[in-house]
Structure 1
Amino acid sequence: MKKPSSRIREEIARLQEQLKQAETREAERIGRIALKAGLGEIEIEESKLQGAFEELATRFRGGKGQATGRKSTTDARTGSETSSALAPGAAEGGIGEA
């Protein structure tokens, strides 16, 4: 028996709410960790910060590339630039956003 479209829409709405809650929890967790590391006091452009986080995520995935499918904003950086890009403000601009 097929589901009526109204039931599918209800299920989609419920799943979207669950996704929003999960993303909020994840953002709060990462934000707390960044603040504990002292990164909340450092100013950095949001695009540079995102690039540094993408590089960090790739590193922890074992260098298997990005799961998001987005083009990296840091393709031209070298390894030494990566650590300096992360350290100067990895928490700026992204804490608490969901």
Structure 2
Amino acid sequence: MKKPSSKIREEIARLLDQLRAAETREAERIGRIALKAGIGEIEIEEAELQAAFEEIAGQFRGGSAAATPRKKPSGGRIGSETTSTLASGSGAGGPGEA
């Protein structure tokens, strides 16, 4: 028997709530780990940081992300230099940093 569209919409809404909750838990976990690693103290563009995270994810997935570094928006390569640009001010870190 087919489900009425109202039941399907209710199920979709419930699943979207579950997805949002799961994404929030994952973001909080990754955020805590990143802060512990000192990422909050680094001055870095968001796109550059995302590319570095994608490279790390590729390494853990067994991909070859390390063998093919991404390009920065400015045209340079992303590598260890992205983690060496520390912020000079104390306001660079996020709240709740230890």
**Same fold by TM-score greater than 0.5:** yes
Tell me the equivalent position of 1:46: 46
Contact (CA 8 Å) 1:55, 1:82: kept in 2 or not? no
Tell me the equivalent position of 1:83: 80
**CA–CA distance in structure 2, aligned partners of residues 58 and 20 of structure 1:** 24
Matching residue within 55, 74, 79 for 2:70 = 74
Q: CA deviation at 1:74?
A: 1.8
Number of aligned residues: 80
Using the size of structure 2 for normalisation, the TM-score is 0.70
**CA–CA distance in structure 2, aligned partners of residues 52 and 84 of structure 1:** 11
Between 1 and 2, higher relative CO (CA 8 Å, sep ≥ 6) is seen in: 1
Residues 3 and 48 of structure 1: CA distance in aligned 2, closer, same or farther (over 3 Å) = same
Q: CA deviation at 1:6?
A: 0.2
Q: Aligned with 2:22: secondary structure? A: helix
Q: Percent identity?
A: 65
Using the size of structure 1 for normalisation, the TM-score is 0.70
Q: Does 1:36 align with 2:36?
A: yes
* Structure showing greater Rg: 2
Alpha-carbon RMSD across the aligned residues, in angstroms, is 2.5
Q: Aligned with 2:56: secondary structure? A: helix
Gaps of 5+ in 2: 86-91, 93-98
In the alignment, residue 84 of structure 1 is paired with which amino acid? E
Gaps of 5+ in 1: 66-72, 93-98
Tell me the equivalent position of 1:96: none
Q: Aligned with 1:18: secondary structure? A: helix
Q: Aligned with 1:63: secondary structure? A: coil
